[in-house]
Amino acid sequence: MAAQGRRIDRVYNALLWRMMGTVTHVTTQDPVVALTFDDGPHPESTPRLLDILEKHGAHATFFMVGEAAQRHPDIVRRVAEAGHAIGNHSWDHSSLPLLSGKERRAQIRACEKALAPYGQRLFRPPYGHQSLASRLDALGLGYQVVTWSVTASDWQDRDAQWITDRLTDETSPGDIVLFHDALYTYVEKRYTDREPTLQAVDLLLECLGERFRFVTVPELLRSGEPQRRNWYQEADVDWLNRLGGAFGEPRRYVRSSGR
């Protein structure tokens, strides 16, 4: 009986982990990597990025902000028709742990509606901020939460060569790489320039095109064993409140508003 109990415990824990863990990468024998692009669609940089990906025969995943997607449904459609995957990045890029449960679920649902019929049930939390409650909300709405294992740091002051050199060294099979085809909120306005990101993607695909196949997140997840982490990151309210917004004044938070 004790052995059976332990077995049930193991199955239960594995199931719970599968439901509650956050996917960061996969372990795989295949030379596959998933590039991901957050915060778009953007009317200028996203179409240019699509051309670069097409030139290299690469596929990617776009975690879109619902409000931006609603303004550019033609770009959402173009991304999907080019064979890329589209995931949910909330309605207006709010830090979800600081909202009420009702507001959080409304954020995910409103984005889902803006991405329909192209959005997949993949969610990336804005800023990577996640609490147990916000993770449960994504689960309740049927979403798999996907973050990353490598970042381009392209929301900061980085040039294309710096991004490319680092990613060329750091990228391994099974990685999920974080880029931004837009910055919905920014630390400094000049960082919203997407030229370094676009150049870096072009250079990176040139350098690594022989070594890796660039696939969407759903394809990557099928290529190996998804690796999950307990990914809980608290929001830094003071930092959030200093950010600028690319489309008007962003949300301001009060420390006690989280539930």
The distance of closest approach from Cβ of residue 82 to Zn ion in the complex, given in angstroms and rounded to an integer, is: 21
Instruction: Give backbone dihedrals phi and psi of 249, rounded to 5 degrees, phi first.
Output: -65, 125
Q: Which stretch binds Zn ion (CB under 5 A): 3-11, 77-85, 120-128, 130-138?
A: 120-128
Regarding 112 and contact with Zn ion (CB under 5 A), the answer is no
Burial class (CB in 10 A: 0-12, 13-18, 19+), 56: middle
The distance of closest approach from Cβ of residue 211 to Zn ion in the complex, given in angstroms and rounded to an integer, is: 28
Regarding 154 and contact with Zn ion (CB under 5 A), the answer is no
Active site residue 38: yes
Active site residue 93: no
The distance of closest approach from Cβ of residue 217 to Zn ion in the complex, given in angstroms and rounded to an integer, is: 15
Q: Which stretch binds Zn ion (CB under 5 A): 14-22, 32-40, 110-118, 218-226?
A: 32-40
Give the residue with the Cβ less far from Zn ion, 108 or 208: 108
Regarding 39 and contact with Zn ion (CB under 5 A), the answer is yes
> CA-to-CA distance for 148 and 176, rounded, in angstroms?
5
DSSP-assigned states of every residue in 196-232 = HHHHHHHHHHHHHTTT-EE--HHHHHHSSEEEEE---
Three-point CA angle 165, 147, 241, nearest 5°: 90
Q: What is the four-CA torsion angle of 229, 234, 240, 241, rounded to 10 degrees?
A: 170
Regarding 38 and contact with Zn ion (CB under 5 A), the answer is yes
Report the half-sphere exposure of 6 (CA within 13 A, side-chain side).
3
Give the residue with the Cβ less far from Zn ion, 40 or 258: 40
Q: What is the four-CA torsion angle of 77, 78, 80, 81, rounded to 10 degrees?
A: 110
Give the residue with the Cβ less far from Zn ion, 40 or 226: 40
Give the footprint of Zn ion on residues 121-150 (CB under 5 A): 126
Binding residues for Zn ion, per CB under 5 A?
Answer: 38-39, 126
| Residues recognised as catalytic | 38, 180
